A and B are shown apart, each in its own frame.
Chain A
Amino acid sequence: MGHTRRDFLKTTAVGAGALTGTIGFPMVSRSQTKKLTVWWNRGYYKEEDEAMLKIAEDFRKAKNVDLDISFTIQEDLLKKIISALTARRGPDVAFCFYNDWEVMPKYAWEGQLVETTDAINELKPRYIEKFLEAAYCYDNKAKKRAYYGVPIEAQTMHIHYWRDIVKEAGLPDDPAKIPMKWDEYWAFWKKAQDGLRKKDPAKYAKVYGIGMTESSSASDTLYNFEMALLSYNGQVFSNDGKVVADEPKNREAIVKSLKFFGDIFASGYVPPDTLNWSDGDNNANFHSKSIVMTPNPSVSIPAHQYFNAPDSYFNKTATIEWPDGPDGRKPTYMIAVKTVIFPKDSANKNPGLAKDFVKFVVDPKRFAEYIKGANGRWFPAFKDVASDPFFSRGQVGKGGEKDPHLPTVTKIYLERNTKVFEHWKNPANSQVYAENVWGKAMARTNVDKWSPEKAADEAIARIKTIVAQWR
């Protein structure tokens, strides 16, 4: 860990007393041993962390390095990283699940991150290339755009639904039989709600067909909005970070998206509480069967079931894709790419060794063991690891049941178009997201009854202000 200032104070005291070259001594010995400090995000599962610890141990032995690795959960790790980078200290390697949204774009902008173009080029043949742009950030000090992180895994949008209650509503529950055209898809879930309420009014009085989070307090809302925006072929930022949301084509897409969310909310097929849901509320509602289906940007829902109710995981629920766009095209999926960063201000000043460590981590066999320990929560950014049968086959049930969740997710990554969240284009996007501009726009249409055009214009104006003020 960077003990720069503490050691400086200590050293000054010693020096002041000794008045000799004693000061030189600690610094000389530090540069002779190879030391590496790694801050890694604690995983959701024991197996992940154990795999990582083993990797660290192997690296220590292989390179004869004094490696110090610590695990912290993401909320706390984010604070740790922010305070370290603000104080211009830092570890050599920092991997936090929030790096891609909150850390990398901002600190690359400030010129505090080590450029990783060399490592990326070396690993490029193995990469699933569409993940790479997440790290292609702009350094405002060096006035250039380059790679400032090493992407290793990703998460994306999934739609989960209850097969058993869809069947009970009298509809086909097999994912292959559910219509994927835009209008018919959404109508399907509405029909499910109607069917259930008609079948058993007492039991299903409060069940809703579409569990779409439209709250300004949830990051799920942002995912939902971006997915809809993609379905309507809109974009907020250009690739070099300029706001293009106000261009007619994009504005129209934004208006249509807001209208879509407003319409389904007003239709009575979305729980009225979604306006106030936090990220965990759609999970809770799904678990308590208050909603038939829900879009969710992590596999937390099936993961919970796999450990607590495997019967539900294998037999009662399934994961299905986002529908084809209104123009008939297959959907493009938002992906959040988890990235490793390398602060420049680390005490050890060993960026080469730090990058070696990460290259060591993403070695096909080692990385496969690590990422499989996460039970499907993450998808690897490397073609060779992604071709592991685990991802195409998923978990296997006790009675040999097939996994109805993970194979769909793998298909999304390998066969569909994907788009990385736009924070890499412009770091101001993290403020746009922190303010949940789109959630607020939805509140405007749903609560204040504004027209989608008015809400869209307000949101676009706010984005432009935020971007203009970002320095």
Chain B
Amino acid sequence: MTGRGMWLYVARGAVLTVITVWTLFPIYYIVSLAITPWTDLFRPVYWVAHPTLDNFKFVIFQESPFVKFFWRWLANSLLVSAATMAAVLVVAAMGSFALGRIRFGLARWVSGITLFTYIIPASFLSIPFFKIMGDYDLLDTYWALIFAMTTFAAPYALWVLWDYAKTIPQEIDESAAIDGAGLVSVFFRIYLPLITPSLIAIGTYAFFYAWNEYLYAVLLLQGEKTITLPVGMGNFLTTDDAPWNLLMALSVIYAIPPVLFYYVFRRYLTHGLVSGSVAGA
């Protein structure tokens, strides 16, 4: 290895190490906090002296009034995320089919609308959303939240699918049509199967989006049995005798599903997500 090559090698190694530490440190920290007993919590330490799983026990068995509805919250988060994922898949699959395979005149408008919805910050619409849902008495229902999240997650999903579908030649559609297949048939029997890898990617993305959503969940859900995990956790932060140890354990539990999802579908994600954005260049 040349002198310069050696220097580069070391530099690269250093950078990679720094990135690894930087990436993992906050994760290490919260896990270590979650296994710290209450009595040791208010002392800054490097290592957890008496690791305990009690905090997790309190949460899982709902032993504290603060986590009385933990399992409900978890179920709500799962329900809402799964529903959003399904809705996004439907909206994005149909929309991308329209834009990508049906060459129609108003497509420019539809793609413009898609982009607009994608770019506008969701928080800008949050307060009026809250008011509208209040007026129609749809607050504290899952529907309101699912609609909100689908609206904001679907455009990106649509774009990604559209971009991915560009790799599928139009001739396939045309030969199917010549064989007598209608649009609906092409959609179900040719389009969907061929874009499945990308569907998995955006399904995962939609699930993440919904699982992580905080602002709309906090605005639209209030019932103590309807709120999702992050809202329940956020409420801890405002009380004056919050059981921080429980909160840390709860956060770790909250983080597990998306991390699991991530590892299972990693391959699809990195490939699938990227194509949509690069399409812009």
Binding site for B on A (CB under 8 A): 1-6, 42, 44-46, 70-73, 75-77, 79-80, 83-84, 86-87, 89, 220, 279-280, 283-285, 287-288, 290, 296, 298, 300-301, 303-304
**A75 x B238 contact (CB < 8 A):** yes
In the complex, whether B51 has a CB less than 8 A from a CB of chain A is: no
**A288 x B42 contact (CB < 8 A):** yes
**A279 x B219 contact (CB < 8 A):** no
B136 partner, pick from A6, A79, A283, A304, beta carbons under 8 A: A6
Q: How far in angstroms is the closest Cβ of chain A from B32?
A: 18
**A72 x B65 contact (CB < 8 A):** no
Having A220-B240, A290-B42, one finds 9 other A-B pairs with CB under 8 Å, namely A6-B136, A46-B65, A72-B224, A75-B238, A84-B134, A87-B131, A87-B135, A87-B137, A280-B239
> Please, how many angstroms separate the alpha-carbon atoms of A301 and B241 in the complex?
8
In the complex, whether B92 has a CB less than 8 A from a CB of chain A is: no
**A80 x B135 contact (CB < 8 A):** no
Question: What residues of B have a CB within 8 angstroms of the CB of A76 in the complex?
Answer: 221-224, 227, 231, 235
In the complex, whether B187 has a CB less than 8 A from a CB of chain A is: no
**A2 x B137 contact (CB < 8 A):** yes
**A287 x B42 contact (CB < 8 A):** yes
Binding site for A on B (CB under 8 A): 42-43, 65, 130-131, 133-140, 218-219, 221-224, 227, 231, 235, 238-242, 244
> Please, how many angstroms separate the alpha-carbon atoms of A303 and B240 in the complex?
12
**A80 x B242 contact (CB < 8 A):** no
**B65 x A3 contact (CB < 8 A):** no
B218 nearest in chain A by CB position:
A79
Question: What residues of B have a CB within 8 angstroms of the CB of A3 in the complex?
Answer: 137
> Please, how many angstroms separate the alpha-carbon atoms of A46 and B219 in the complex?
27
B135 nearest in chain A by CB position:
A87
Question: What residues of A have a CB within 8 angstroms of the CB of B140 in the complex?
Answer: 80
Q: How far in angstroms is the closest Cβ of chain B from A319?
A: 16
Question: Residue among A86, A279, A280, A303 with the most chain B CB within 10 A?
Answer: A280
**B224 x A71 contact (CB < 8 A):** yes
**A304 x B65 contact (CB < 8 A):** no
19 pairs of residues in contact across A and B, judged by CB atoms under 8 Å: A4-B137, A6-B136, A72-B222, A73-B235, A75-B235, A75-B238, A76-B221, A76-B222, A76-B224, A80-B139, A83-B131, A83-B134, A87-B134, A87-B137, A280-B239, A283-B241, A288-B43, A290-B42, A300-B241
A280 partner, pick from B133, B135, B219, B241, beta carbons under 8 A: B241
A86 partner, pick from B131, B136, B244, beta carbons under 8 A: B131
Known contacts A288-B42, A301-B241; A80/B222 CB under 8 A: yes
B137 partner, pick from A1, A288, A303, beta carbons under 8 A: A1
Question: What residues of A have a CB within 8 angstroms of the CB of B222 in the complex?
Answer: 72, 76-77, 79-80
Question: What residues of A have a CB within 8 angstroms of the CB of B244 in the complex?
Answer: 284
The 10 closest A-B pairs by CB, nearest first: A83-B134, A279-B240, A76-B222, A288-B42, A87-B134, A300-B241, A280-B240, A80-B222, A87-B135, A6-B137
> Please, how many angstroms separate the alpha-carbon atoms of A73 and B244 in the complex?
18
> Please, how many angstroms separate the alpha-carbon atoms of A95 and B196 in the complex?
52
A284 nearest in chain B by CB position:
B42
> Please, how many angstroms separate the alpha-carbon atoms of A44 and B241 in the complex?
11
> Please, how many angstroms separate the alpha-carbon atoms of A22 and B231 in the complex?
42
Question: What residues of A have a CB within 8 angstroms of the CB of B137 in the complex?
Answer: 1-6, 87, 89
> Please, how many angstroms separate the alpha-carbon atoms of A411 and B130 in the complex?
45
**A5 x B224 contact (CB < 8 A):** no
> Please, how many angstroms separate the alpha-carbon atoms of A83 and B244 in the complex?
30
Question: Residue among B65, B130, B222, B223 with the most chain A CB within 10 A?
Answer: B222
**B130 x A83 contact (CB < 8 A):** yes
> Please, how many angstroms separate the alpha-carbon atoms of A45 and B64 in the complex?
10
> Please, how many angstroms separate the alpha-carbon atoms of A1 and B130 in the complex?
17
Question: What residues of B have a CB within 8 angstroms of the CB of A70 in the complex?
Answer: 223
Question: What residues of A have a CB within 8 angstroms of the CB of B224 in the complex?
Answer: 42, 71-73, 76
> Please, how many angstroms separate the alpha-carbon atoms of A301 and B140 in the complex?
33
> Please, how many angstroms separate the alpha-carbon atoms of A220 and B130 in the complex?
30
Q: How far in angstroms is the closest Cβ of chain A from B67?
A: 12
> Please, how many angstroms separate the alpha-carbon atoms of A45 and B241 in the complex?
14
